A and B are shown apart, each in its own frame.
Chain A
């Protein structure tokens, strides 16, 4: 069974870049069956898909965030990463990584709260 774990700073200053890594265990990130995605949830609000990546490096992003988002993959470490630039308070959220099978998210990390504040 896949397990995913997010890691990274819990506090980011406005205008800086948010960086998170998701470590996958219990399976290979190079599996041809999966994409790997990032989803976020502002406190008390709903879910927003950020973007996804295939092990080959192919990516697709939420158009509303595309100009600020970069998702990358490191198959040697079984990890994929998120960078979100020029953050504001509106980017404060719990960030989840998840495995994506046929575009649904079947395994999720526990989530990590990232607060944007000076």
Chain B
């Protein structure tokens, strides 16, 4: 597609509920990143895929967070048993290949846990 598409744009979840956030990167982009942005803060790295391989998941805050990209294109970030501190904007970015080619960001999913 023309850009990085994320869905849903907004998600309200009750505490304890599981959520799944989707990222559809630019076609052909090898690298895909997930970032978490708390209100008033800069984004923080969560995880990174190169094609279907998850090369770095060091930023995932707990084992309740899980990400996958099974066919090397669309990626899903899943949060189990959501907690209030999970409330944030979740941003997806893709790159043709790594950091040397620049990034395209999606519009993000704003998750509110109540």
Do A and B actually bind? no
Residues of B within 8 A of A (CB): none
